[in-house]
Amino acid sequence: MRNSVAILALVIFVLTFISSEVSASYSSCQKDLKKCKKEKKEDRLVIGPSKDAFKKNLPQDFCAIFKKGGSKEGQLRQANGTQILTGVCSNTPQGEIPKVENMPSTLILYPDNGDKIKKNEPFTIKVKTQKLELGFFSDPAITYNTFPQVLNKHGLIQGHQHVTIQFLGKDKNNLDFPDATKFDFFKGLNDPSKDGILNVKVDKGLPKKGLYRMCTIISSFSHQSVVLPKAQRGASDDCVRFSVV
């Protein structure tokens, strides 16, 4: 019995010593990134951008370069789950990426291209999305971009849909380049749907006559754009142009 207790105490001591050594190494890396790069990185956390992390799939604190002592100290804030609008660095992994045949796709069913809607008249947007498990929507106030993308048991991304409407100008001959920070209507569609169809009502209609663009934005659970296995990100969303008269 005494021997067992002695062995257990020795194991605890060794683990504590190793943990403190790793912690001290990590702390020293934060203070001196150049010194850290000279050390062997097997079984260690990689500080800042590194080819070793990419080649060996090591855990990586990419954002350390923006922390105190880093080469880009203070240039970007650390992601904390809130929507920081002044630039941010996030260590959230991209997560699970689907097979190419499981990439999601969306069609806007209403309004359609060329449709005309009366000024200030309520209307209902209708979109259909396939190959996406809808209804996965985290709290955007405290968990923005914090969770990696996740697939369901069928290999489909778990996420949600958005729609945004922007004013383009009075007519097709007098178009304004849309400002990404401004919109006339925006809505996150966080409901589940068995058939992929989601509806949202624009209660007050649109206030100005002219040409509008409406687009969808597919996101995974914590609001980052979906990560796909092939360079067809834009093909997963849809846009239409319609007029308000």
Q: Which residues pair with 107 in a beta bridge?
A: 128
Element spanning 241, H or E:
strand 239-244
The structure's pTM equals: 0.76
Same domain assignment for residues 54 and 136: no
26 has a pLDDT exceeding 60: no
Owning domain of residue 190: 100-244
d(CA 161, CA 157): 12
**Using an 8 Å Cβ cutoff, are 216 and 165 in contact?**
no
pLDDT of residue 234: 54
Same domain assignment for residues 105 and 70: no
In a domain, 107, yes or no: yes
In a domain, 93, yes or no: no
Same domain assignment for residues 159 and 222: yes
Cβ neighbours of residue 92 under 8 Å, at least 6 residues apart?
Answer: 79, 145, 146, 147, 148, 222, 224
Q: Which residues pair with 88 in a beta bridge?
A: 77
Closest CA to 189 of 147, 128, 241: 128
Same domain assignment for residues 13 and 120: no
d(CA 218, CA 232): 13
Domain count, the chain: 2
In a domain, 87, yes or no: no
**Using an 8 Å Cβ cutoff, are 122 and 201 in contact?**
yes
Same domain assignment for residues 139 and 38: no
In a domain, 89, yes or no: no
Same domain assignment for residues 138 and 239: yes
d(CA 199, CA 163): 10
List, for residues 31-68, the tens digit of each pLDDT value: 444 444 444 444 467 777 777 766 667 777 889 889 88
Task: Write the CATH number for 192.
Answer: 2.60.40.2550
List, for residues 201-225, the tens digit of each pLDDT value: 999 999 999 999 999 999 999 999 9
Same domain assignment for residues 221 and 109: yes
In a domain, 122, yes or no: yes
Element spanning 185, H or E:
strand 185-189
Same domain assignment for residues 69 and 140: no
> In this structure, what are the phi and psi dihedrals at residue 20, rounded to the nearest 5 degrees?
-70, -35
Same domain assignment for residues 106 and 51: no
Highest averaged pLDDT of the listed ranges 177-181, 203-207, 231-235? 203-207
b/e map 216-245, b = 16+ CB within 10 Å: bbbbbbbbbebbbeeeeeeebbbebbbbbe
Arithmetic mean of pLDDT over the chain: 82
18 has a pLDDT exceeding 60: no
Same domain assignment for residues 225 and 148: yes
Same domain assignment for residues 57 and 154: no
